[in-house]
Amino acid sequence: MRVDLFDFDLPDERIALRPASPRDSARLLVVDPHGSSLQDWHVGDLVDFLKPGDALVFNDTKVIPAQLEGIRERDGNQSTVSATLHMRVGPDRWKAFARPAKRIKAGDRIRFGHNGDVCMLGTLDATVEQKGDAGEVTLRFDFHGPALDQAIATVGHIPLPPYIASKRDEDERDRADYQTIYAREEGAVAAPTAGLHFTSQLFEKLDKKGIERIFVTLHVGAGTFLPVKADDTEDHVMHFESGYVDSATAERLNAVKARGGRLISVGTTSLRLLESAADENGVIHPWSGATDIFITPGYRFRAVDMLFTNFHLPRSTLFMLVSAFSGTETMKAAYHHAIQTGYRFYSYGDASLLFRKSP
C-alpha cells in the first residue's frame, strides 16, 4: 500500500507544545464511520458515549528519563553524542537511537553524566556493543539492574517528541505533564499520550456510570516517532515494543466481551497489545514479549471495539492504524475537520473517539 495515501498538510500552529489544563478540558472529536456527521465535544464528555459494562483499557507504562547526553571517547579523541534509550534487552543493556550516528562505532566508550551523583567518578559509562541501521545501537552499561535504573533516572532527561523538542527545551513541567496519572510500570521512553487526558475527576465520572478500568503494559519505544521512509507499507520495518497481559487481566477482558460490553482502548499502544494477545476468534490470552504488529487498512480487528486516541503525524504508522480502524476516507475527513476547526495535534494535543468500521 502506498505511503503517500496517508499524507496530509498540517499547519505548524496546530502542533501543541503544552497540554490542556485541566487535562480533561481538551477537545474530543467523535468519529463514527456509520454516523452522518463528526461531533465536537470535550474529553470530560467521554462518559456520555460509553455504556455500563463497557471497559476502558489503559496502558500503565511509566516514562523514564531516557534521553542521555554524553561524550564518546576513541583513541584519545572526544565528541558529544545523544542517545535515546528505547528498549531494554538485558540487566545492563539497552537498545538506543544515537545521534549523530556517524560518530559512533562498535567498541566505543561513551560517558553519560558529569555531576558526581551517579557513581564515584560522576559518570554513567557504556560501551557500544553493536551498531545497527538508522542510528540504532546496543549499549552495554557498567551498571546493571536497579543501580542502572537509578543512574539513568539521575542523569537522564524526559525524551520529548521531536516535534516538541525542536521548538522548546524540556523543563520541570514536562516531568509531570508527560506522564499519565496512573503510570506504574517503569520502562517507556515515550508516553502513551492518549492517557494524558485522564484526571481523577474523570475517573470518578466513569466509575459512577459503571465503566470498568483495566490496565495492561506496553513499554512505548522511541521508534513510535520514526518516520516511514519507505514508499510502500510492505517495505517499512516496525520496531519492537515489549509488554504483557497477565492471566487475571486476560480473564477480565474476556469477561467484558462475554457480557456484551465493549473494549475501548485508550491509545494505540493498548490497542496494539490487545490485538497481539487476541486469537482469530477474539479471545484474549495471557501474553508477554515484544510485538512489532503493524496495522494498516485491510487488517481485521479481533478484540478492540472503540479507540480513544490523539491526532497523529502525516504518513505515520499511527495514522495508518486509525485509518484501518475507522476507514481511510473517514479519517481523512476527520483530520481535515480537526485542522479546519482548530484541534491541537500530537502528544500534548486534543483527542478523538473512534468507532470501529464494520468489516
The CATH number given to whatever domain includes residue 117 is 2.40.10.240
DSSP alpha helix (H) spans, 185-284: 200-209, 247-258, 268-277
Residues 271 and 320 both lie in one domain: yes
Percentage of the chain exceeding pLDDT 90? 73
The answer to whether residue 167 sits within a structural domain is no
Q: Is 329 exposed, middle or buried (0-12, 13-18, 19+ CB in 10 A)?
A: exposed
pLDDT at 73: 82
The reply to whether 331 falls in a domain is: yes
**pLDDT at residue 225, as a whole number:** 65
Please check whether residues 274 and 293 belong to one and the same domain.
yes
Is the domain of 143 the same as that of 285?
no
Q: Evaluate whether residue 241 is within a structural domain.
A: yes
Strands 124-131 and 136-141: antiparallel
Alpha-carbon gap, residue 127 to 141, rounded angstroms: 6
pLDDT tier at 115 (50, 70, 90 boundaries)? low
Nearest to 352 by CA among 59, 58, 39: 39
Q: What count of other Cβ atoms lies within 10 Å of the Cβ of residue 327?
A: 20
Domain boundary among the residues 156, 186, 209 is at: 156
Select from 127, 156, 185 the last residue of a domain.
Answer: 156
Indicate whether 305 and 182 sit together in one domain. yes
For residue 275, what is the domain's CATH number?
3.40.1780.10
59/126 same-domain check:
no
Q: Is residue 316 part of a domain?
A: yes
Q: What is the pLDDT of residue 199?
A: 98
pLDDT in tens, 46-85: 999 999 999 999 999 999 999 999 999 888 788 999 999 9
Q: Which of 241, 194, 237, 199 is nearest to 354 (CA)?
A: 194
Q: What's the helix, strand, coil split of the chain in %, to 5?
A: 30, 30, 40
DSSP of 27-60, one letter per residue? EEEEE-TTSSS-EEEEGGGGGGG--TT-EEEEE-
180 shares its domain with 80? no
Q: Is the pLDDT of residue 346 over 60?
A: yes
Residue 88: closest CA among 260, 241, 250: 241
What backbone torsions phi and psi does residue 224 show, to the nearest 5 degrees?
A: -65, -20
pLDDT at position 356 over 80: yes
Of 122, 156, 190, the position where a domain reaches its end is: 156
- In a domain, residue 80? The reply is yes
Say if residue 204 is in the same domain as residue 341. Answer: yes
The band of 254, judged by pLDDT with boundaries at 50, 70 and 90, is very high
CA distances to 75, 125, 135, 156, 267 from 128, in Å = 15, 10, 12, 18, 33
Render pLDDT for 80-104 as a digit per residue (tens, 0 to 9).
999 999 888 999 999 999 999 888 9
329 and 252 within one domain: yes
Per-residue pLDDT band for 116 (boundaries 50, 70, 90) equals very low
Q: Which stretches within the chain are classed as H helix?
A: 145-155, 162-165, 172-177, 200-209, 247-258, 268-277, 317-326, 328-340
Whether 237 and 296 share a structural domain: yes
Our count of domains for the chain comes to 2
Whole-angstrom Cα Rg for the chain: 21
Pairing, β 77-90 against β 124-131: unpaired
* DSSP for 157-180, written as a single string: B----HHHHTTS---HHHHHHTS-
Looking at residue 281, its pLDDT comes to 95
Per the structure block, which three cell numbers stand in for 321?
Answer: 492504524
Instruction: Calculate what percentage of the chain has a pLDDT beyond 70.
Output: 96
pLDDT in tens, 227-242: 788 899 888 888 888 9
86 neighbors 107 (Cβ within 8 angstroms): no
- Residue 89 belongs to domain spanning: 67-156
Q: Judge whether 21 lies within some domain.
A: yes
Does pLDDT of 198 surpass 50?
yes
